[in-house]
C-alpha cells in the first residue's frame, strides 16, 4: 500500500534572475508502515522533498499525493489541516519550551490533538519514562531530541518526517535517537521518513533512497528488515 507518491516533482528557487533547481522531476513511492531513509550529499534536494511531503512547502511543477489526497492541489488551509491531522515533524533543533518539563512539553501537543497518547506513554516509547519531570536544561542533547520525538508522536500521526534529527548529536547518541524512531515504526506502525548522515540507520530501514542533484539515483531495499504487515 502506497502512502506517498509523486510524479515529476520539481522545485525551483528563483532569486532575481538566478534559478536553483532543488528537485528535477522526482517520481517516488513510499509504502505505508515503512521506515525510509533519504541519503545523499548536502544540497541534493532531500529536505525540499520532505518539506513538500509534509505540506510545509509547495512544488513548482509535478504532482504529489498522500493516499488519495493530492497535496499539490490543496489550498493553504487544507495543507494546514493535513499537517495537523496526519504529520509529525522532527528537526535538527528540538525547539522545546525551556520553562516546561518533558511531560509538559509533550502535553502542549496532546491538548489540541483528537486522540492523543498520554504524555507519559509517548515519553516511555522513547525511553524517557524516568525523565518526565525534568526540564530541557537538565537533559542531554539526545534526551532533548527524544522529548521532541515524543511530542511529535503524541498526536498519533500516520507519518513521521525527520529532517536531520541526529544532526546536532555525536554518532553514538545519534544511534539512540534512531533506535527510538525504529521502535516507533515497529510498535506503532508509523510511516517514518528520515534524513540523516548517521550510517547506523541503514540496517534499521526498510528502504534507502539515494538523492543526487535533485534526482533519485537509486532505491535500495533492505532484505533483512521484514516488510510491515
Ligand atoms: P542541509 O539540508 O544540508 O542540512 P540546509 O538545509 O541548511 O542544509 O541548506 C542547504 C543549502 O540550502 C545550503 O547551501 C543553504 O545555503 C541553502 N539554503 C537554505 N535555505 C536557503 C535560503 N532561504 N535561501 C538561499 N539558500 C538557502
Ligand atoms: P538537502 O536537504 O539534500 O541538503 P535541500 O533540499 O536543502 O538539499 O536543497 C536543495 C537545493 O535547493 C540546494 O541547492 C539549496 O541551496 C537550494 N535551496 C534550498 N532551500 C532554498 C531556499 N529557501 N531558497 C533558495 N535555495 C534553496
ipTM of model: 0.75
Q: For atom 11 of ligand 2, which residue has the closest CA?
A: 22
- What is the per-residue pLDDT for 67? 97
Q: What is the β-pairing status of strands 35-39 and 159-163?
A: unpaired
Q: For atom 8 of ligand 1, which residue has the closest CA?
A: 42
Closest approach atom of ligand 2 to CA 49:
6
**pTM to 2 decimals?**
0.89
The pLDDT of residue 227 is above 90: no
Choose among 72, 74, 64, 67: nearest CA to 28: 64
Residues with CB under 6 A from ligand 2: 13, 20, 22, 40, 42-48, 211
In tens, the pLDDT along 126-138 reads 999 999 999 999 9
Q: For atom 21 of ligand 1, which residue has the closest CA?
A: 13
- What is the per-residue pLDDT for 151? 97
Q: Which ligand has the nearest atom to the CA of 13? A: 2
Q: Which ligand has the nearest atom to the CA of 93? A: 1
Percent of all residues in the chain with a pLDDT value above 90, rounded to a whole number: 90
Percent of all residues in the chain with a pLDDT value above 70, rounded to a whole number: 100
Q: For atom 12 of ligand 2, which residue has the closest CA?
A: 22
Ligand 1 within 6 A of CB of 141 = no
Closest approach atom of ligand 2 to CA 41:
3
Ligand 1 within 6 A of CB of 6 = no
DSSP 3-65: EEEEEEEEEEEEETTEEEEEEEEEEEEEETT-EEEEE--TTSSHHHHHHHHTTSS--SEEEEE
Residues sharing a CB contact under 8 Å with residue 147, sequence separation 6 or more, in sequence order? 94, 96, 102, 105, 106, 123, 126, 128, 131, 136, 139
Q: What is the β-pairing status of strands 69-70 and 61-66?
A: antiparallel
Q: pLDDT class for 228, splitting at 50, 70, 90?
A: confident
User: Which of 13, 20, 43 gets mutated to test ligand 1 (max ligand atoms within 8 A of its CB)?
Assistant: 43
In tens, the pLDDT along 65-97 reads 999 999 999 999 999 999 999 999 999 999 999
Q: Which ligand has the nearest atom to the CA of 41? A: 2
The CA-atom distances, in angstroms, between 64 and each of 73, 133, 194, 195, 217 are 9, 41, 18, 19, 19
- What is the per-residue pLDDT for 113? 75
Q: pLDDT class for 180, splitting at 50, 70, 90?
A: very high
Amino acid at each position: 500500500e502506497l502512502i506517498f507518491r509523486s510524479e515529476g516533482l520539481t522545485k525551483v528557487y528563483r532569486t532575481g534572475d538566478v534559478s536553483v533547481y532543488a528537485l528535477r522531476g522526482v517520481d517516488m513511492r513510499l509504502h505505508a508502515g515503512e521506515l525510509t531513509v533519504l541519503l545523499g550529499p548536502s544540497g541534493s534536494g532531500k529536505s525540499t522533498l520532505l518539506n513538500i511531503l509534509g505540506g510545509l512547502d509547495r512544488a513548482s511543477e509535478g504532482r504529489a499525493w498522500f493516499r488519495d489526497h493530492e497535496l499539490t492541489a490543496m489550498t493553504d488551509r487544507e495543507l494546514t489541516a493535513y499537517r495537523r491531522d496526519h504529520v509529525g515533524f522532527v528537526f535538527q533543533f528540538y525547539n522545546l519550551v525551556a520553562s516546561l518539563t518533558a511531560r509538559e512539553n509533550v502535553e502542549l501537543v496532546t491538548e489540541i490533538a483528537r486522540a492523543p497518547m498520554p504524555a507519559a506513554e509517548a515519553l516511555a516509547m522513547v525511553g524517557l519514562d524516568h525523565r518526565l519531570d525534568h526540564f530541557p536544561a537538565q537533559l542531554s542533547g539526545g534526551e532533548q531530541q527524544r522529548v521532541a520525538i515524543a511530542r511529535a508522536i503524541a498526536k498519533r500521526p500516520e507519518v513521521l518526517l525527520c529532517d536531520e534529527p541526529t544532526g546536532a548529536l555525536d554518532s553514538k547518541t545519534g544511534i539512540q535517537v534512531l533506535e527510538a524512531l525504529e521502535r516507533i515504526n515497529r510498535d506503532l506502525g508509523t510511516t517514518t521518513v528520515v534524513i540523516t548522515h548517521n550510517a547506523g540507520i541503514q540496517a534499521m530501514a526498510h528502504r534507502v533512497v539515494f538523492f543526487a542533484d535533485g534526482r533519485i539515483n537509486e532505491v535500495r531495499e533492505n532484505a533483512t528488515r521484514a516488510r510491515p504487515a
